Amino acid sequence: MRALGPLLFLVASLAPAQAETLITSLSNHRVLINSNYTGTQIAVFGAIERDAQTVARATGYDVVVTVRGPRQFLTVRERERLGPVWINQEQQKFPSVPAYISVMTSRPIAEITSDQLRQRQKVGLEAIINANDFTYARDGADKPFREALHRLKAQEGLYLEDERGVTFLTPSIFRAGIPLPATAPPGNYDVDVTLFADTVILARTSTDFELVKTGFEERIGVVARDWSLFYGLATAVIAIFFGWLANVIFRRD
């Protein structure tokens, strides 16, 4: 027992995992959007704290901020030629993918860490989309569908990667802006911040924010979804009312 004490101390001082700690904060934990919303930004602030025993790193720090929106069950379909017409034929299901993904980095992601680590830890948009659990693999037949999903989502501004998205204000304090386009769906958004130095992950934190739609359109949307019979009847009554009104206004006899 007496011999174990110095040994434990030795092990503890050798373990580098706890050397840096990451402290992050979001500018907002709840984003309210109304019908004339045209997109906004959320800021992530972070500070890197080093404990007394750790020496400064020669290479400096890199930060990757990954934001994942609410999950959706998507189907991607491909139009193919059948005789004279183009119709949807092949399809690939994506059972649970984020409706929104953005990856903000302090440097081009290929310079931050190795390919293998990126694939294993799902760092970067490419790695997330090509991960095994993103959709079921079909010996390469799934590849064009993953690419199409990436392309179509990127066109809507919902999947993006910005290699200058994280800025270091001082060597240990950084900020990143998460752009949220008008098409971003309401729900819970997870924010993961990963700290790298010399291609190795030093620390990780995660937090989240909520995107909430408010206003007239959202209330109508809720009614349409949850009280669909009432909604249908209400639309019918409105239509009949306008029809009757037109009949009264434009009566010719």
Can residue 244 be called a binding residue for other proteins (CB under 8 A)? yes
Cα separation, 37 vs 120, whole angstroms: 37
Tell me 126's DSSP state.
H
Can residue 140 be called a binding residue for other proteins (CB under 8 A)? no
Can residue 80 be called a binding residue for other proteins (CB under 8 A)? yes
Stretch that binds other proteins, among 3-11, 13-21, 24-32, 219-227 (CB under 8 A): 219-227
Q: Considering only residues 162-201, where is the footprint of other proteins by CB under 8 A?
A: 182, 185, 187-188
CA torsion 13-15-20-26 (nearest 10°) is: -130
Can residue 151 be called a binding residue for other proteins (CB under 8 A)? yes
40-50 β-sheet, strand order: 20-26, 40-50, 173-180, 166-170
Can residue 110 be called a binding residue for other proteins (CB under 8 A)? no
Task: State the nearest-atom distance from the C-beta of 178 to other proteins, in Å.
Answer: 19
What number of other Cβ atoms are within 10 A of residue 134's Cβ?
19
| CA distances, 17 to each of 47, 194, 196 (Å) | 17, 13, 12
CB 161 within 8 A of CB 124: yes
* Burial class of residue 82, CB neighbours in 10 A (0-12, 13-18, 19+): exposed
Among 145, 174, 196, 209, binds other proteins (CB under 8 A): 145
Can residue 152 be called a binding residue for other proteins (CB under 8 A)? yes
Can residue 245 be called a binding residue for other proteins (CB under 8 A)? yes
Task: State the nearest-atom distance from the C-beta of 32 to other proteins, in Å.
Answer: 17
**Residues in the site for other proteins, rule: CB under 8 A?**
70-81, 84-88, 91, 93, 96, 99, 144-145, 148-149, 151-153, 182, 185, 187-188, 217, 220, 224-225, 228-229, 231-236, 238-240, 242-247, 250, 253
